[in-house]
Amino acid sequence: LNLCHMFCLYPYCIFFFTIRRPPRSPLSSSSAASDVYKRQNVNNVNNQLTVTFLEFHLRVLLSMADEGHGTPAQRAQWSHMLANLPEQPTVVANVSYNNCSASQKPKVPCRPCRWLYNGTDDGCEHRLETTFAGCRGAGPSEPGSNPVETSAIYPGSISIGMASDDLTLQRARSTIVYLDAWGQGNAFSQIFAAAGRVFNGSEVVPSLGGGDHLLRLFERAINTSMGSGNLWHKQFGGGVETAGTLGYVCEVLLQSHEGFLRLFPGMPPGEPASFAGLRAMGGFVVNASTEPQTPNSFSNLEVYSTAGQNCTAMSEAPVKVFSSSGREQAVVRAHVKRETRLWTWQTTPGAWYHVVPQ
């Protein structure tokens, strides 16, 4: 199933599996249970798209509850459901890295097999690593195929990012490297944005076509499908996949899904960039710029608050925050997961704030 269609089709799936499902057996908790769900094929259990979709919506509901929506009982129910979701399904895949010799690459494509490397010396480095899977019990997809497995990273999950624990981050990265789907048409709107959440702009991302900074891989993918000098880009999937790639462009400039503003995470070192009017989770509108001397950080930051939530921004150096009236705001240091370079201040709905690194 193409991920671009997941959110449109999912309500019908919910209807089919909840409204029309057969009733559960009262013996479902006993060893003698004959419930249909006890006999279903293992590949239908804990489908990644289902788990990811539920996680996404539960986290959004909890975020809305933090803003005063819903009742305490609903919040408790949503928290309980999120805490008891099954883990994302995983599989051990044979991941190939791009240190193949140039003389061997044209002769033998550097592709792993489904489960274990077949022993042929193609000059590549192969590692058995845990990656996300489409569902429990399923083998990994073929490299270069539609990267449904990355839905656990983007767009479904709002919990996986560069501040994640080592195990989660490694699984996410291994999934990206294994799939190596930079040129796959349906992948175009997903693979780059997913990679942008777990690889920062200063890193070289392994690729069978030659590793590079992620932004350079993105440019390479676009350049290979451009028309004859007229700036026309091939429209994968009737244009939906092409337009969806704007999601990656936004991820390069600003990320907020982890609960704080991460500025210019995807920009390679030494490259200037700026943006205006990007929205961030928490009800913020953000303008920012970065200079070569401030890699993966910011030289100027302006934040507009629509909801009056506390705002947290990542900065290597301490920051001072001023309201539009020039009044300095109280700033406290914060941490989210393992990220400690964070600075938080209170906001008022309808107010602008100027953030200055010290």
pLDDT in tens, 171-206: 999 999 888 888 777 777 788 999 999 999 988 888
| CA distances (Å), origin 2, targets 15, 27, 68, 181, 213 | 20, 37, 35, 14, 27
Per-residue pLDDT averaged across 127-139, rounded?
78
- Tokens 């539960």 — which residue? 58
Residue 44 has pLDDT above 50, yes or no: yes
Helices (H), 182-256: 191-196, 214-223, 240-244, 246-253
- pLDDT, position 40: 42
Q: What would the two tokens of residue 286 be?
A: 């953000």
Is the pLDDT at 295 greater than 60, yes or no? no
Mean pLDDT of the chain, nearest integer: 77
What pLDDT is recorded for position 66? 82
**The token pair that represents 333 in the structure block:** 């240091």
Question: How many CA within 13 A on the CB side of residue 226?
Answer: 11
- Whether residue 152 is predicted with pLDDT greater than 50 in this model: the reply is yes
Residue 313 has pLDDT above 60, yes or no: yes
> How many whole angstroms separate alpha carbon 126 and alpha carbon 120?
11
Backbone angles phi, psi at 80, to 5 degrees: -65, -45
Q: Does residue 320 register a pLDDT over 80?
A: yes
Q: Which position has the higher pLDDT, 244 or 115?
A: 244
Q: Within 10 Å of residue 194's Cβ, how many Cβ atoms?
A: 30
